[in-house]
Amino acid sequence: MSLPLCTTELGRDWIDGGTLCRFRCNPPGPIGCDADAEAAPMDGDTPNRKPASRGANPPPVTQTSRSTVKKEASAGVDIDVAVEVVADVVADATVSAGTAVTSFQNGVRFVTPATEWVNRDGKKIVSKLTSPFSLKGIISVQTRYGRGAMAHQPSAYGRGTTDEDTKVGNTTLGFHESCHRADFLAYLAANLLPTFEGKAGKTTDEYERSVKALKTRLNDYFAEMEKQSDSNTDEVGYKKSEFEKFGPTH
């Protein structure tokens, strides 16, 4: 007897909240300064080519890249997960004016093995996995700038405002966003993707619970990726939480 093949499709927008970052109005202004007043004419230049604020290093140019997170192929598993950094988008109408967002679009999907089961002592026991566990897809990391937000502008909080960043002149919004991208790549390199624990010998109920558990652990894994970037890049120096309470006080 066989159980239905369990394909788990995760939603298209699965973990794409991203982290919304603000620039500091220069000269200092109220929160949510007029994005139009800050916007420079779009003449085809990328934001990275705009002149940096005086004393600040120009924002780093975004390097597109692709690397393997995990690749494994055997009789039991078929895993191929990669991460890409894609080019920035400027004047993105889907991003709030005057802000930038660095997020990851998660294209990772899994398919759990098809199984056969037998009745043993009144219990349904998984006797055989008849197809491999598959985990595949691409995690795309991207920085998008809303209207009026540009890489050369000073970051309002977090990285770009720490003593060390200020000392060496890494104070731009573009630098801040580059830290989020680096956070995501570092997290994927340092943290192993969750594995599927379903195997022959488990009851069919236990097996089904392993499928649900994997989905939860994958969601938690990527939620943590976002959370760690918030702590590393937004909640340091002049913290984002302070900015949201007190505004641009420096």
Please report whether residue 234 would count as binding Zn ion according to CB under 5 A: yes
Residues in the interface with Zn ion (CB under 5 A) total 3
Q: Indicate the residue among 19 and 105 with the shorter CB distance to Zn ion.
A: 19
Please report whether residue 141 would count as binding Zn ion according to CB under 5 A: no
Please state the closest distance from residue 163 (CB atom) to Zn ion, in A. Answer: 18
Q: Would you tell me how many other CB atoms lie within 10 Å of the CB of residue 170?
A: 22
Q: Indicate the residue among 21 and 79 with the shorter CB distance to Zn ion.
A: 21
Using alpha carbons, list the distances in angstroms from residue 140 to 51, 102, 112, 173, 184: 28, 10, 23, 20, 10
Q: Using CB under 5 A, which of the segments 30-38, 88-96, 119-127, 231-239 binds Zn ion?
A: 231-239
Please select the residue that binds Zn ion; options are 21, 90, 126, 129, rule is CB under 5 A.
21
Q: Using CB under 5 A, which of the segments 18-26, 72-80, 115-123, 201-209 binds Zn ion?
A: 18-26
Please report whether residue 183 would count as binding Zn ion according to CB under 5 A: no
Which token pair is 31?
Answer: 């929160």
Which token pair is 94?
Answer: 């889907």
Q: Indicate the residue among 144 and 202 with the shorter CB distance to Zn ion.
A: 144
Q: Indicate the residue among 18 and 198 with the shorter CB distance to Zn ion.
A: 18
Residues 6+ apart with CB under 8 A from 179: 158, 159, 160, 232, 233
CA-based angle 51:57:58, to the nearest 5? 40
81 and 125 Cβ atoms separated by less than 8 Å? no
Which residues would be at the binding site for Zn ion (CB under 5 A)? 19, 21, 234
